[in-house]
Amino acid sequence: MILRGKTRVFGDHVNTDYIISGRYKFKTLDMRELARHVMEDLRPDFAEEIETGDFIVAGINFGCGSSREQAPLAIKYAGISAVLASSFARIFYRNCINKGLPVVECDTWGIAEGDELEVDLGKGSITNLTQGTNLKAAPLPSVMSAILAEGGLAAYLKNHGSFEL
């Protein structure tokens, strides 16, 4: 799958409370409602600024904190096509794959706000069309690629009934 969009840049250690605050997440299973509050404590108008297909780009330890799956879901329902970060917190990383939100671990240093990127998930390559540079992504374990390819863990298990290594 090849994704193309503009970047929205954040810093290091963006935690799940920033992605979607506990003020909202316990109230509803309506992810469209939660998506309206994505990143609100860091950038109050972020949800409105997003254009469908945009990428979130961040530094180290993105998604640290709680295990709430509302975090990847709020990002996904807000119209973000993938998250690129220098490193991810492990529960968040796993949750993204399970919910079918592509995560790309790569050296994000140097990517600027509004850069146009082309991300080839299959090849693990990132082209910064604005800066004319190329980046390489850390490969996904095969079990994760298989889950992501089917759109998430629920679909994967519905199709396979169990885990296949």
Q: Which is nearer to other proteins, 1 or 154 (CB)?
A: 154
128 near other proteins, rule: CB under 8 A: no
Q: Which is nearer to other proteins, 7 or 66 (CB)?
A: 66
Q: Which of 104, 102, 91, 22 is nearest to 58 (CA)?
A: 104
Cβ-based neighbour number of residue 122 at 10 Å: 9
3-state percent helix, strand, coil for the chain, nearest multiple of 5: 30, 20, 50
* Burial (CB count <10 Å: 0-12, 13-18, 19+), residue 45: exposed
| CB contact at 8 A, 135 and 106 | yes
Binding mask of the shown chain, residues 54 to 93, with x at each position contacting other proteins by CB under 8 A = ------xx--xxxxxxx--x-------------x-xxx--
Cβ of residue 5: shortest distance to other proteins, in angstroms?
Answer: 25
Cβ of residue 6: shortest distance to other proteins, in angstroms?
Answer: 26
Whole-angstrom Cα distance, residue 63 to residue 20? 10
Q: Which is nearer to other proteins, 117 or 147 (CB)?
A: 147
Q: Which is nearer to other proteins, 24 or 130 (CB)?
A: 24
Q: Which two tokens stand for residue 106?
A: 């790569």
- Cα within 13 Å of Cα(55), Cβ side: 29
Q: Of 4, 6, 13, 36, which one interacts with other proteins (CB under 8 A)? A: 13
The count of residues interacting with other proteins (CB under 8 A) is 43
Q: What residues pair up with 58 in beta bridges, in sequence order? A: 85
Q: Which is nearer to other proteins, 88 or 117 (CB)?
A: 88
Residues that bind other proteins (CB under 8 A): 13, 15, 17-18, 21-23, 25-29, 41, 60-61, 64-70, 73, 87, 89-91, 94-95, 98-99, 141, 143, 152-155, 157-158, 161-163, 165
